[in-house]
Structure 1
Amino acid sequence: MATWDLSNTKHHLLICNGSSCNKAGAEELTQAIRNEIQKRDLDDVIHTTRTRCNGRCYDKCVSIHYPKGTWYKDLKAEDTSPFIDSILEDEDYTEKVSHTFTLEGFVRSSGINRGVSKDKEKVKKASKIL
């Protein structure tokens, strides 16, 4: 595995490649994003990481942009160019935003909350085990 010099990196994209996202085209999305970054000679500016499940399976395909903290949903390979444009312009690709990060925490974009609520008691018990 390569070790990248991240000193010029401004953006980090986490691209979900869990099973639900893979069934919806995550591999094609990952390759399209990486090809677009390479085509634009942005390898030093935008770093990508292929992840396992990010827990937002209903929103497949999911990508997370850091350090901004914006979560994107329903991404397809054909979204790549405007998605990269939005990152470079420091704007959200608004039609694909799932959640944005604020000082109060993550805020869901308008629409239905598509996700599973965590059982707080189970989470509390699990954290005690760790």
Structure 2
Amino acid sequence: MTTWNLSGMRSHLFICNGSSCMRKGAEEITLAIRDEISELEMDEQIHTTRTRCNGRCKDACIVIAYPQGSWYKASSTDTGREIVRDCLAQQNNQHTVYRTIDGKMILNPEVASITGIDKNK
């Protein structure tokens, strides 16, 4: 297993490759995100990891950016590329489903997404 030197890392993108996301183009979105990082020559600043299900299947494909704490709805390869540029600008854009504000996850009402289920019920 490779251990990357992450000392220059600004963002870590976790790209859901669970079954629902894969059915909605996660493979192509993953490749587009990685291609955009390479084209922008940001390989030293943005790291990517494929994950399994992140529990937001109805918003597939989900991309989570840390340390920003933003959860994105990547519905196309173009959106995946926009997410990379958004991470570099450190802004929350139109594809952000949830973002972290003052340590709390806040749902973005401008993005068509589900609220989700209450885990305590």
TM-score scaled by structure 2?
A: 0.89
Task: Specify the alignment match of 2:56 in structure 1.
Answer: 56
Structure 1 residue 112: Cα displacement: 5.7
Write the distance in 1 (CA, Å) between the matches of 2:70 and 2:47: 15
Matched pairs, number: 119
Question: In the TM superposition, what whole-angstrom CA distance separates every residue of 1:72-115 from its partner, at most 9, and x where no partner exists?
Answer: 1143112233222211111112x211111123521111166442
Higher alpha-carbon deviation: 72-81 or 8-17:
72-81
Residues in 1 aligned to 2:30 and 2:100: alpha-carbon distance in whole angstroms? 23
Aligned-partner Cα distance in 2 for 1:112–1:12: 23
Q: Which structure has the larger Rg over C-alpha atoms?
A: 1
Superposition RMSD on alpha carbons, in Å?
Answer: 1.6
Find the counterpart in structure 2 of residue 126 from structure 1: none
1:15 maps to what in 2?
Answer: 15
Moved more, 1-10 or 16-25: 1-10
What does the per-residue CA deviation read over 1:29-50, in whole Å, with 9 as the maximum and x for residues that have no partner?
Answer: 0011011111221111000010
Distance 2:33 2:113 in 1: 27
Q: Which amino acid aligns with 2:99?
A: T
Partner of 1:127 in structure 2? none
**Distance in 2, Cα, partners of 1:112 & 1:31:** 24
Query: Which structure has greater helix proportion?
Result: 1
For the residues of structure 1 that align with 2:76 and 2:48, how far apart are their CA atoms?
Answer: 16
CA distance in 2, matches of 1:119, 1:83: 31
Gaps of 5+ in 2: none
Give 2:55's aligned amino acid: G
Structure 1 runs of 4+ aligned residues shifted over 3 Å read 111-114
Identity %: 42
Which residue of structure 1 lines up, in the alignment, with residue 117 of structure 2? 116
In the TM superposition, residue 2 of structure 1 has moved relative to its aligned partner by 2.3
Match of 2:106 in 1: 107
1:123 aligns with none
